[in-house]
Amino acid sequence: MLKGKTILITGGGSGIGEALVKNLSPENQIVICGRNQDKLKKVASANKNVSYYPVDLSVPEEIDHLFKQLSGNKIVLDVLFNNAGVVEQYNISKTGLSSAEIFQRINTNLSGGIAMTRHFISQANKSTENYIVNITSEIALFPVPILALYASSKAGFSVFTKVLRQQLRNTNFKVIEVLPPQIETDMPKQIGNSAKGVNADDFAKKIISTVNSGKVELANGPNVPLLKLLSKFFPDLGLRLIDKMSRKQLQVQ
């Protein structure tokens, strides 16, 4: 039950992270982190029981330093929301990202979350109930080719979540995966997607309800049945179909 807990939310300065803060802060102690200090400060000021730490999850040393700070401040976490993520259109033969920029995107969506999880487990009070909630994406079920880096890293994080749950069976760590559909945040706009999404506050409430009910997965988007069907029975046709549809929606040539 998410009540009376100390909770760390990555990417807590906007979007789903900010909505989680709003809904959880009245009855919990919240720690948020992210790259944009101004956004973190604004969210912390607007909600009670919130502290913030600027952290770039693509940089290993910054993650290590965060947990040293938390330890120095006598903060022991009960809950980790791995929510941070970055998305953009990517065509390997046309998009001019450097090797460092590619690593930065993948680290934010995948490696950073794994490193955060390792630190979280190490510092946790293992005699009490702890929660690890990983926010992946419904496109972890079936990739969108034009979002190659995002789809690849979120699919990898989904796999990590499943094996983590197996590794932590018979412990006091509960591992939950959340596969959001399109949410009304700035993220879809960054890739040119103007279609209406799910309200972030409403979705945050569904996440909290999922955790409190003891379920291990939230994948309730309208596209989920189709994505699972394509993945199982029509992978090649599905890739062509999803590529064509997403290029049209995002106005990609």
Q: So what's the pLDDT on residue 33?
A: 98
For 184-194, write each residue's pLDDT tens digit. Answer: 887 767 777 76
Would you give the end-to-end CA distance of the chain in angstroms?
Answer: 47
Residue 130 pairs in a beta bridge with 173
Q: Please report which residue ranges of 52-199 form alpha helices under DSSP H.
A: 60-72, 99-106, 112-123, 148-167, 186-190
Q: So what's the pLDDT on residue 188?
A: 67
**Would you list the DSSP string of 194-216?**
-S--B-HHHHHHHHHHHHHTT-S
CA dist., res. 12 & res. 36, Å (int): 10
3-state secondary structure of 109: helix
3-state secondary structure of 132: strand
Which domains does the chain possess? 6-250 (3.40.50.720)
Where is 236: in which H helix or E strand?
Answer: helix 235-250
Residues with Cβ within 8 Å of 205's Cβ and at least 6 positions away in sequence, in order, are: 23
For 138-167, write each residue's pLDDT tens digit. Answer: 999 999 999 999 999 999 999 999 999 999
Contact yes or no for 6/29 (Cβ under 8 A): yes
- 221 has a pLDDT exceeding 80: yes
For 27-80, write each residue's pLDDT tens digit. Answer: 999 999 999 999 999 999 999 999 999 999 999 999 999 999 999 999 999 999
Structure tokens, 100 = 């460092």
Angle between helices 112-123 and 148-167 (to 10 degrees): 20
- 251 has a pLDDT exceeding 90: no
Biggest CA pair distance of the chain: 55
Q: CA-CA distances (angstroms) from residue 63 to 55, 141, 198?
A: 7, 28, 31
For 91-135, write each residue's pLDDT tens digit. Answer: 999 888 999 999 999 999 999 999 999 999 999 999 999 999 999
CA dist., res. 223 & res. 180, Å (int): 10
CA dist., res. 102 & res. 81, Å (int): 24
- 216 has a pLDDT exceeding 80: yes
Residue type for 239, please?
Answer: L
The closest alpha carbon to 176, from 136, 142, 222, belongs to: 136
Q: So what's the pLDDT on residue 193?
A: 76
